[in-house]
């Protein structure tokens, strides 16, 4: 028997519901009741434990992320617990604690075949182009999850994704043993880079940020020099203190001012690694890039090796320096406000923590 439309409506009414956060438009965050998603073949449903608010989420909220269209269901920095398995999933079990690697890739294009799946020609990202994890539960392919190691809290595991961006950037920068390094921006990624370059053997590290609280935090985490990028001649100050270098500059801000400073810092033979997501085009002084033999390196997400490196490093991270606010899902809008206030490093939305 074919069900009538009224029967179908009643069946849909009885479907279990959950909470899901949405960015409805610029500056607008809402919490809606939506059906609990069912995993398809090769997928798992995960009960979200903690979700971090990312800089990309804030760009989306402002309506200026170049690759996210609104409305969007956000959330890609997440750790939680497997709640249901789709057909054919044998790599995970219900009850496993997992963290998400949110890049959804085709596995067939030139870049995927070569191991650089972060550059997949058909790349999508959970919480950016598909329904995200800022909800009671979400669904993603089983092969996008990593089991959280024994002894690692969900609080720490949720930091693995943003730290993977830092470990990827460090890997692309090359050998940093003994190098002088500048990091522009002391948000989550900048501070993650500070920890990652130290672990890679950097000899001296300068960090810039306009906020005194973030400069102080960078100093507590091991920066040799902290500088207000808008005070006096910041470039001359950094180069003077780092023996007329840095060898590598990581730009975690990615606007016109920061790229100008990056190029001025690099001078002859230096490397600039752009880690931040630009809000729009910037002008590059190509004659300087050519004449001074500068290397300008972009970065995009990460691959498995970077995630595994981040998992190793996260045990060394003083979590209280990075996770500076925690709010429940019902206060998702307040969590976005806190993340965009400049008063915090990483804001976590706590949904079903351990």
Q: What domains can you pick out in the chain, each with its CATH number?
A: 11-159+317-350 (3.90.180.10), 163-298 (3.40.50.720)
What is the distance between the alpha carbons of residues 148 and 81, in angstroms, rounded to a whole number? 10
- Name the nearest CA neighbour of 145 among 78, 87, 52: 78
Q: Which residues, listed in sequence order, are joined to residue 141 by a DSSP beta bridge? A: 43
Q: Are 246 and 176 in contact (CB under 8 A)?
A: no
pLDDT in 10s for each residue of the chain, 354 residues:
344 444 444 545 577 999 999 999 999 999 999 999 999 999 999 999 999 999 899 999 999 888 899 999 999 999 999 999 999 999 999 999 999 999 999 999 999 999 999 999 999 999 999 999 999 999 999 999 999 999 999 999 999 999 999 999 999 999 999 999 999 999 999 999 999 999 999 999 999 999 999 999 999 999 999 999 999 899 999 999 998 889 999 999 999 999 999 999 998 999 999 999 888 899 999 999 999 999 999 999 999 999 999 999 998 888 888 999 999 999 999 999 999 998 899 999 999 977
| The pLDDT value given to residue 3 | 42
* pLDDT, tens digit, 9 for 90 and up, residues 248-283: 999 999 999 999 999 999 989 999 999 998 888 999
Question: Half-sphere exposure of residue 301, counting CA atoms within 13 Å on the CB side?
Answer: 20
- Name the nearest CA neighbour of 223 among 240, 239, 237, 203: 203
Question: What is each CA distance from 177 to 112, 128, 171, 186, 202, in whole angstroms?
Answer: 30, 36, 12, 22, 5
What is the distance between the alpha carbons of residues 206 and 221, in angstroms, rounded to a whole number? 12
For the chain, what is the HEC assignment?
Answer: CCCCHHHHHHHHHHCCEEEEEEEEECCEEEEEEEECCCCCCCEEEEEEEEEECCHHHHHHHCCCCCCCCCCECCCCEEEEEEEEECCCCCCCCCCCEEEECCEECCCCCHHHHCCCHHHCCCCEEECCCECCCCECEEEEEHHHEEECCCCCCHHHHCCHHHHHHHHHHHHHHCCCCCCEEEEECCCHHHHHHHHHHHHCCCCEEEEECCCHHHHHHHHHCCCCEEECCCCCCHHHHHHHHCCCCCCEEEECCCCHHHHHHHHHHHCCCCEEEECCCCCCCCCCCHHHHHHCCCEEEECCCCCHHHHHHHHHHHCCCCHHHHEEEEEEHHHHHHHHHHHHCCCCCEEEEECCCC
| The pLDDT value given to residue 278 | 87
Give the number of other CB atoms < 10 A from CB of residue 159.
28
What is the distance between the alpha carbons of residues 209 and 342, in angstroms, rounded to a whole number? 11
| The pLDDT value given to residue 6 | 46
Has this prediction a pTM greater than 0.85? yes
Mean model confidence pLDDT for the chain: 93
């Amino acid at each position: 028997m074919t069900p009538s439309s009224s029967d179908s409506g009643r069946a849909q009414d009885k479907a279990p519901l959950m909470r899901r956060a949405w960015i409805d438009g610029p500056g607008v965050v809402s919490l809606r009741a939506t059906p609990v998603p069912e995993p398809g073949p090769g997928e798992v449903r995960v009960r979200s434990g903690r979700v971090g608010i990312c800089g990309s989420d804030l760009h989306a909220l402002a309506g200026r992320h170049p690759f996210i269209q609104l409305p969007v269901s956000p959330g890609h920095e997440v750790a939680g617990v497997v709640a249901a398995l789709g057909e054919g999933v044998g790599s995970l079990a219900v009850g496993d604690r997992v963290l998400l690697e949110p890049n959804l890739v085709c596995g067939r294009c030139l870049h995927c075949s070569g191991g650089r799946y972060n550059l997949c020609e058909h790349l999508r990202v959970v919480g950016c182009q598909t329904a995200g994890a800022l909800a009671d539960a979400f669904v993603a392919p089983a092969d996008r999850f990593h089991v959280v190691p024994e002894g690692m809290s969900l609080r720490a595991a949720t930091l693995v994704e943003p730290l993977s961006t830092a470990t990827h950037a460090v890997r692309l920068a090359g050998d940093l043993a003994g190098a002088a390094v500048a990091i522009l921006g002391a948000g989550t990624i900048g501070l993650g880079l500070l920890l990652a370059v130290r672990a890679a053997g950097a000899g001296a590290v300068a960090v810039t940020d306009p906020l005194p609280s973030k400069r102080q935090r960078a100093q507590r985490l091991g920066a040799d020099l902290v500088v207000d990028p808008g005070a006096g001649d910041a470039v001359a100050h950094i180069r003077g203190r780092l023996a007329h270098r840095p060898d590598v500059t990581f730009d975690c801000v990615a606007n016109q001012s920061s790229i100008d400073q990056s190029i001025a810092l690099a001078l002859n033979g230096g490397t600039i690694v752009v880690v931040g997501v630009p809000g729009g085009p910037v002008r590059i002084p190509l004659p300087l890039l050519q004449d001074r033999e500068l290397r300008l390196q972009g970065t995009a997400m990460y691959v498995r090796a970077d995630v595994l490196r981040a998992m190793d490093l996260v045990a060394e991270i003083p979590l209280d320096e990075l996770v500076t606010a925690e709010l429940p899902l019902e206060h998702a809008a307040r969590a976005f406000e806190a993340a965009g206030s400049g008063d915090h490093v990483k804001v976590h939305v706590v949904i079903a923590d351990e």
